[in-house]
Amino acid sequence: MNNAMNILGQKMNLFAASANVLVLPVFAGEANLAESVAERLPESLRKTALRLMKAHDFSAKPNEMMTIDVHDAAHHHVVIVGLGSAADATLETAREMIGAVVACARRLGARSIAVEIPVSDEGDVADVAEAMVVAAQLADYAFDTYKEKNGAKRMKEMTLVIKEGRDVLRVRRAVERGCAIAGGVAVARDLVNMPAQVMTPSALAEAAERIVKEAGKNFSLKVLDRAECEALGMGSYVAVGNGSDEPLKFLHLTYMPERSTRKRLAVIGKGVTFDSGGLSLKPGDGMMTMKCDMAGAAAVLGFFTVLGQLQPRCEVHGIVAAVENMPSGKAIRPGDVVKASNGKTIEILNTDAEGRLTLADALTYAKKLEPTAMVDLATLTGACVVALGEEITGLMSNNNDLAQAVLDSAEDAGEKMWRMPLEKRYRSLIESEIADLRNIPTSRYGGSLTAGLFLEEFVDGLPWVHLDIAGPAFAEKPMGSYLGKGGTGHGVRTLVELVERM
Ligand code: BES
Ligand code: MN
Ligand code: ZN
């Protein structure tokens, strides 16, 4: 669970730090690399370091590490870590580096790290510091609620060593920001990692209540139950919940900044707390990770946690149509027709295409708030994972400026996203014989695009971005050096960048 390490920014000499592991990041490309790295070490370590670097042909490739065991009282290890060439370095280089370092420190049994902030010519020390803080916290995350022995190997403290006195304040602010962002990502990861048996629609509503309360006076929450949703005409969303014994909960979180601006962002998260497929039941293997089908909702709640700390100038609405998709004698059947709150009828031909049914009403609700931009996050289609793999989000949009703003935000935040088209010619694939729309396309191909086109029917031309996070929301194997298995909180970091750009 969320038990973040303490992070400090200090102007000091790295080798004066009292941490268990002292980390010296180095760029590649220098002529006498080993010698120049050795010069940066205390006299007593130079010989050993030189011998080690020469013996292993150390060339400072990204994440290449040399560990020196220091046999003295205070510190136990010095780690020299490569960053590759300074010209190729990005913030992601720093994130990947610190992720590898945290893993190494954990293997060494260390509880504290001190590390220099590496800055290339174009880099900014505060940006690099923030990236390192976020990645270090994410790397140190563990979901161990259900383990007998928990918390044992977590890091206690990290000191970012600052070289220039004038950078101290900016770095300390970056540390605070980074911790706030990482805290929000951890909230999202916890929500995803919690089993569906406990993380029900009601539990999601309770989590939202806690978050809004903690965030303070500019925040509020409205929770609608089934009867209230029916009264609003949300026939599509409520139908998904028919088979479950868990009552559905529609969540509307609001953040009103102190000084109001004309910008209003709505973020909509898919909140299917478990997706069995319904009567169109998934095979056992396909169901194994389906507690992750509320990862979009988790990202929205994690994002709101960060909003509470950063208090940006843009008004934000968070919307989650939380529901469990189960088979039963009450469940919706293939062939049933439902009516969404915008008046459109939908023929449900596969109860496993339930995400779009919930989003139809969530988007309609969001639209009524007259946002200047809408972003939905949804573990929507397996087809998106086929198209882009497990680490990249599929982005679809009806607005080039907003699409670009989200892509730029994702790039800066270190989340991978790629735009896919809302191809009008494929629109005919979701036309129904007897209703306005069908919930699955008539072609097996381009499944993410037809899902995106389905959602577009509910946005009425408002600037909107759809993020299909089916791949990166849940890591079946570690995603790079700083995101381990399980829920990743994907989307939170991009949303934070985006809201500050609005
Ligand atoms: N939640 C799934 C999509 C999913 C698949 C998320 C794998 C994460 C990993 C979604 O509700 C679903 O079942 N989609 C179907 C749509 C199909 C029936 C048109 C799918 O992708 O197979
Ligand atoms: Mn499904
Ligand atoms: Zn689903």
E-strand stretches of 39-91: 65-69, 77-85
Q: What is the whole-number distance in angstroms between the Cα of residue 53 and the centre of ligand 1?
A: 49
CA 6 to ligand 3 center in whole angstroms: 37
Three-state SS at 184: helix
The residue nearest atom 8 of ligand 1, judged by CA position, is 470
Helix 168-193 and helix 295-310, axial crossing angle in degrees, nearest 10: 150
Atom from ligand 1 closest to the CA of residue 383: 21
State the fold for domain 194-501.
Answer: Aminopeptidase (3.40.630)
Q: CB of 488 within 8 A of CB of 479?
A: yes
Class of residue 33 by CB neighbours under 10 A (exposed 0-12, middle 13-18, buried 19+): middle
Token duo for residue 322 = 């939380």
Report the phi/psi class of residue 470: left, alpha or beta, with left for phi > 0 and alpha for psi in -120 to 50.
alpha
Residues 6-185: name the CATH superfamily.
Leucine Aminopeptidase, subunit E, domain 1 (3.40.220.10)
The domain limits of the chain are: 6-185, 194-501
Q: Which helix (H) or strand (E) holds 255?
A: strand 249-255
Q: Is 359 in the pocket of ligand 1 (CB under 6 A)?
A: no
Number of C-beta neighbours around residue 54 at 10 A: 12
| 3-class state of residue 328 by DSSP | coil
How far, in whole angstroms, is CA 367 from its chain's centroid? 24
CB atoms within 10 A of CB 283: 8
CB 48 near ligand 1, within 6 Å:
no
Catalytic-residue membership of 47 = no
- Cα separation, 218 vs 201, in Å, equals 24
Is residue 282 among the annotated active site residues? yes
d(CA 317, CA 300): 9
Asked if 414 and 493 count as a contact pair (C-beta separation under 8 A), the reply is yes
Residue 369 burial by CB count (10 A; 0-12/13-18/19+): exposed, middle or buried?
middle
Of 356, 416, 438, 493, which residue is the catalytic one?
356
167, 171, 174, 175 alpha-carbon torsion, rounded to 10°: -170
Nearest atom (ligand 1) to Cα of 293: 1
Strands 345-348 and 65-69: unpaired
d(CA 97, CA 186): 20
CB of 293 shorter than 6 A to ligand 1: yes
Nearest CA to ligand 1 atom 22: 382
The strand ranges marked E within 398-457 are 417-419, 437-438
Q: What is the pLDDT along the chain (502 residues), one digit of tens a residue?
A: 457 999 999 999 999 999 999 999 999 988 899 999 999 999 999 999 999 999 999 999 999 999 998 877 666 899 999 999 999 999 999 999 999 999 999 999 899 999 999 998 888 999 999 999 999 999 999 998 898 876 557 899 999 999 988 899 999 999 999 999 999 999 999 999 999 999 999 999 999 999 999 999 999 999 999 999 999 999 999 999 999 999 999 999 999 999 878 899 999 999 999 999 999 999 999 999 999 999 999 999 999 999 999 999 999 999 999 999 999 999 999 999 999 999 999 999 999 999 999 999 999 999 999 999 999 999 999 999 999 999 999 999 999 999 999 999 999 999 999 999 999 999 999 999 999 999 999 999 999 999 999 999 999 999 999 999 999 999 999 999 999 999 999 999 999 999 999 9
Ligand closest in space to the Cα of 438: 1
